[in-house]
A and B are shown apart, each in its own frame.
Chain A
């Protein structure tokens, strides 16, 4: 299980979560941040600091179709090739090592701007 960032992050990207993650597993995309489910240690530090209340544990998505979409989408950000990148991100072992990712998943790219 891991924590997941939902739609509230899109075009907001406060980054407080990035500041508190003890394992640096929150990666910054163009319009949204994504938690790497393989690197997340499930501590929950990000959930309580997010001013947008965008973060939830994956197990709390069970009865919520939209949240389930974002559970899959957070994983897809790392597992599937992103536009402009030759290889999937994989598990880079540190968002700071990887730096800003100038891309988003299909779901987030297509998300309407407010």
Chain B
């Protein structure tokens, strides 16, 4: 499906917000129940926390897998979720959910103005949006040289590059940019870099300037950054030329403003009943974003919550359906074993 250009209003049975493990499994399950599904995620790819924070970690507490890497598990879940051809909208941020009691419908609004009308919504937003941690002084310089991604290193030929951070991503960018840029300086406020020793040795030998216990004190420029002022632990300041300042400070999470959407909260989580339904009819919450008495925030429980929410939503959407779904082994229309994974639009 490639209706991005005209996707201003979409109709479906169920909207799933969040493509982490719980949201992906809910998407599969809704397809199995014969519901048409739109799956949204603010990230450009599936996997939520797992993809952003620990893709390479081995996970041992998912039923059926004595050990599975985060990225393999997500690939499998995306494959499974794609079985019934859901509409997948990645890189799109949901900004509001509104219920219209007259038509018993819900509308999810995306940041780009797209409206998705459905009879039920499942919120599977986990710990919230995952985005790069911003530079303390970067505010106002975004688009003028402050960036958090370097998609095209070649674009920085002959530039003075300042990278802020002490981890592997800071050093990876330094090593990529050093052969192209005029100069590369890595500024880290702690005593020691966290990056691999081998990367540090390579960077130092290639002429990358590595500064510890240092911070950017000021950014100077006009329509573009021209220089930055660095300050070391002794308080000594010096100004160096800079064309771009790259923030490599890891990621932070930011929960959606659910209270403003009219959802009842408890301990900053969305409160649900035993059907995973929130206080708003037709809006369900599953996985790490939801809470109830005895809640355990694990993938293992999130998968069960997905099945509970979808089966209850199915009856809400079509009262002629039964709550119990039948068994997936009976489903002749189900995906063949070698189903190809779906591609986001």
Contacts and interface: CB of A to CB of B under 8 A. Distances in A.
Given A14-B191, A43-B49, A19 B249 contact: yes
A29 interface: no
B130 interface: yes
A85 B213 CA distance: 31
A45 B249 contact: no
A15 B191 CA distance: 10
Interface string B241-255: 000000001111100
A2 to B, nearest CB: 11
Nearest to A39: B268
Q: How large is the interface on A (under 10, 10 to 19, 20 to 34, 35 or more residues)?
A: 10 to 19
Contact of B253 (A22, A38, A44, A51): A22
Contacts of B167: 20, 49
A94 B194 CA distance: 23
Contacts of A24: 252
A14 B268 CA distance: 30
A16 interface: yes
A22 to B, nearest CB: 5
A19 B190 contact: yes
A91 B49 CA distance: 21
A46 to B, nearest CB: 11
Interface string B101-116: 0000000000000000
A22 B130 contact: yes
Contact of A44 (B54, B166, B192, B267): B54
A22 B130 CA distance: 8
A6 to B, nearest CB: 19
Interface of A: prevailing SS = loop
Contacts of A23: 127, 252-253
Given A22-B127, A49-B194, A43 B54 contact: yes
A53 B83 CA distance: 44
Contacts, number: 48
Contacts of A51: 192, 194
Q: How large is the interface on B (under 10, 10 to 19, 20 to 34, 35 or more residues)?
A: 20 to 34
A41 interface: yes
Contact of B127 (A15, A20, A41): A41
Nearest to A50: B194
Nearest to B128: A23
B267 A45 contact: no
A37 B252 CA distance: 18
A101 interface: no
B190 A22 contact: no
B53 interface: yes
A93 to B, nearest CB: 6
A44 B49 CA distance: 12
B148 to A, nearest CB: 14
A16 B268 CA distance: 26
The 6 A-B pairs with the shortest beta carbon distances in the complex, nearest first, are: A43-B53, A49-B194, A20-B250, A22-B253, A22-B251, A23-B253
27 contacts: A14-B190, A14-B191, A16-B192, A19-B190, A19-B249, A19-B250, A20-B250, A22-B130, A22-B250, A22-B253, A23-B127, A23-B252, A23-B253, A41-B253, A41-B288, A41-B297, A43-B49, A43-B54, A44-B53, A44-B54, A44-B57, A45-B53, A45-B54, A49-B167, A49-B194, A51-B192, A51-B194
Interface of A: 14-16, 19-20, 22-24, 38, 41, 43-45, 49, 51, 91, 93
